[in-house]
Structure 1
Amino acid sequence: MNKKTIWVIDDDLIYKIIMKKIISKSDIFSSTVTFSNGKEAINALKEAIEKNTPLPEIILLDIEMPVMDGWGFMEEITILKSQFKTEIHIYISSSSIAIEDKLKAKSNPDILGYMSKPISLNDLILISAFD
């Protein structure tokens, strides 16, 4: 199996540390990059496009973040996605129990799933199963 790159976009430092440990333990991913908000991640995507460096295969996206939340990130990625050479699989990773968030995620064709925190090793195995 080809190891994939995963980005975790979340403002919770403790959660990012835990996720990095779970991701490392999974031995599925070649690298993990974390961002504290959607704006940082969008800037990194723009830079990767500009420099023609690899994009992440998977993004775990929180909804509630400062500067740019998950929904703002999704608006920006819609504009950028025509420049992607490969598909990015985006999953919401949230502690939100709001039904509106789940419905909004489900209605967005660029979001492949909505997972409640904390993400488990089994969740990572499932979302990394594509080729």
Structure 2
Amino acid sequence: MQHTGKTDISHDILLSAYRRMKTIRTFENRLHEDFKAGIVPGFTHLYAGQESVAVGICSHLTDQDQIASRPHLVAVGGGCPIFAGGQLIGGIGVSGGTYEQDRDLAEKALNSLGFEVA
């Protein structure tokens, strides 16, 4: 079977996926620059080039789904997005307990640092 290059995915869905991938890449690029400048302590393991994996998988999830992935920016059942001033700036993933325990710990960590929790 030869691939024609056509898809049943609407223009709006493709544009939304592109925007989410672009947001991830923009965040990663900023994180990398801030890390190099010494603003972000510790270490980083960037996700550049893998944005489509997270966007593709997460676009099919429902509120009842829970997935876990050790590295990168893939959704973690016990994690939280990080918002500051109403803007999504990153995420935190916690694992080791139940979903509820991990989520509670992530929220407490973010609250203690003054971040908004979604």
Give the alignment's TM-score, normalised by structure 1.
0.25
Which of these two proteins has the greater Rg computed from alpha carbons? Answer: 2
Higher relative contact order, structure no. (Cα contacts within 8 Å, ≥ 6 residues apart): 1
Give the alignment's TM-score, normalised by structure 2.
0.26
Higher strand proportion (structure 1 or 2):
1
